[in-house]
Structure 1
Amino acid sequence: MKNEIEKNWDEMSEAYENFTEAEDSYSYAIEWPCIQKILPKLDGKRVLDLGCGTGRFSFLFENENPLSILGADISEQMLNIAKNKAMKRSSKVEFIQYDINDLNTYNNERFDFIFSSTTFHYIKDLNGLFNNIYNILEEKGTCIVSLMHPVYTAQYPIDKNGAFPSDDEWVVRYLDKSTRAYIQPWIEYNDNINNYLSTSYHHTVSDYFNAIINAGFTIEKVEEPFPPEEWEKTCYGRYNSFIETPSYMILKLSK
């Protein structure tokens, strides 16, 4: 039986793909340029992309000539999109369905580089997650985790037993650890799909850093990327919104 998160992402996979594959999407305009700056050499390396979605970053990493790339995600529909794209690109990326909470699946396999983008706020047990990642990472291996910035997730409306939040409920409650419930933007601005709530957790900076430290990682780099400078002139509202509430905190970790 599918859990709520799996069902949620299956239903909005097409809407998500269309929204985030635009050239000026946050993923391409803000997140990826920052990741490129801190990306280790992947030539001949074994790569794991956790919560790979429709394969965006897996395909970008493939350009770096790794030995292998495994993209893993909970959503069958997201993976179907990724596999279709891989076929069209003649890509060698392998995509599998799995739950990120069950990384013990890979106890007999090790990776040189592990990556994840905007997935960890769906995971309640950060300590268990980072311990599992540490265990499947090769000695001297590297991780890059692109997180939804804790300041951003702090503004997600508090879950009120499935009731849809109003606009004025998008207020920062940074130390409130209540479950959050909200409408994703790729649904809200898509007339072809009915609105429904997504739920996730809000983790603070200390929650992330302590889980990382407790697992044994060394924190190599902390990035809070800015939006493109040209947005200040071409789309000031979008630019200013990001300056007020950044979407990403990107961490480079080593074992």
Structure 2
Amino acid sequence: MPSIQNIYDDPTFYEGYRMLRQTGSGLNDVLEQPALRSLLPENLTELDILDLGCGFGDFARYARDQKARCAIGMDVSAKMLASARQMTNDDAIVFEQGTIENLAATSFANRSFDLIVSSLALHYVANYRTAITAIANLLKPGGRLVFSVEHPICTALAAQRWHQDDAGNDLFWPVDNYREEGPRHTSWFSKDVIKYHRTVETYVNDLLDTGLQLNRLLEPEPATAARNAKWENHRRRPPFLLLAAQKS
């Protein structure tokens, strides 16, 4: 089994990521989070919710603001969890250190949830099928799973960048080795960040093979009001893939 990476506890990575999120103007805030929330049940009142890869705990606090009964946030990063606890004053929110690869070892392994969310975390997990099976087992009958990952168009090549002309204009986003699933060693805030590439086919079919029903697939683009030179490239190639599914 591949070793589990904890890049968010790397001081250089953590500080870069923290500063990005503090601006509130990154792709997470402008594109990915609005899309993820659009896939949630219309009413979160009295739901038991689990957030896998909870980061700073933003979603857990949002869920409680929407009257969720309780929210558990799990993350591998001690630094992220320390920040999440500092920003949270709610006894119905619990943060726990753990990994998606080993959900059986968590304190909530024998519980079940109405809603499980995971924001941009599953592309760090080596064995997606095993993870989805374990997640499905934590859902109540009728429970929902909503998650986002980096789009396979973006993860296919380790070097994530536009092909440019001599003047520095973005010409096209290259896609290659799409069928060769597995680790990609990239640089983002620090060197050798490991993400796992898999096809859209794998993301969807492995989910269906667990017995979950696919409700919606999104490849979000910037809202019309946000479209400008900064965001236009994210219409030319989608940065995120989101899936919503339900347990029968």
The CA distance in 2 between the partners of 1:103 and 1:32, in whole Å, is: 24
| 1:123 counterpart = 2:115 | no
SS in 2 for 1:101: helix
CA distance 1:155–1:227, shift in 2 (3 Å): farther
The C-alpha deviation readout for 1:147-193, integer Å capped at 9, x for no partner, is 21111112333xxxxxxx9987x842222224211111xx2xxxxxx
Say how many residue pairs are matched: 230
The CA RMSD measured in Å over matched residues stands at: 2.1
Determine if contact 2:182/2:198 at 8 Å carries over to the other structure: no
Change (3 A) 1:69 1:178: closer
Alignment correspondent of 2:94? 94
Q: Secondary structure at the match of 1:156?
A: coil
Which residue does 1:10 correspond to in 2?
Answer: 9
2:191 is paired with a residue whose SS is coil
Cα distance in 2 between the residues matched to 1:77 and 1:94: 16
Distance in 1 of aligned mates of 2:99 and 2:129:
16
What are the ranges of 5 or more consecutive residues in structure 2 without an aligned counterpart? 164-172
User: 2 CA distance for matches of 1:207 and 1:146?
Assistant: 14
- Gaps of at least 5 residues in structure 1 are 158-164, 188-194
Alignment of 1:216-227 (within 5 A): 216-227=211-222
Q: TM-score normalized by structure 2?
A: 0.85
Residues 151 and 43 (structure 1 numbering): CA distance in 2 closer, same or farther, change over 3 Å? Answer: same
Alignment partner of 1:196: what SS? strand
Superposed displacement of residue 33, structure 1: 1.9
Q: How does 1:24-43 map to 2 (within 5 A)?
A: 24-40=25-41, 41-43=43-45
Q: Which has the higher strand share?
A: 2
TM-score, normalised via structure 1 length: 0.83
Aligned twin of 1:63: 65
Aligned match of 1:232 in 223, 227, 235?
Answer: 227
Q: Show CA shifts across 1:100-155 (max 9, x none).
A: 10112344111110000111111121111111111111011011111211111123
- 1:172 paired to 2:172: no
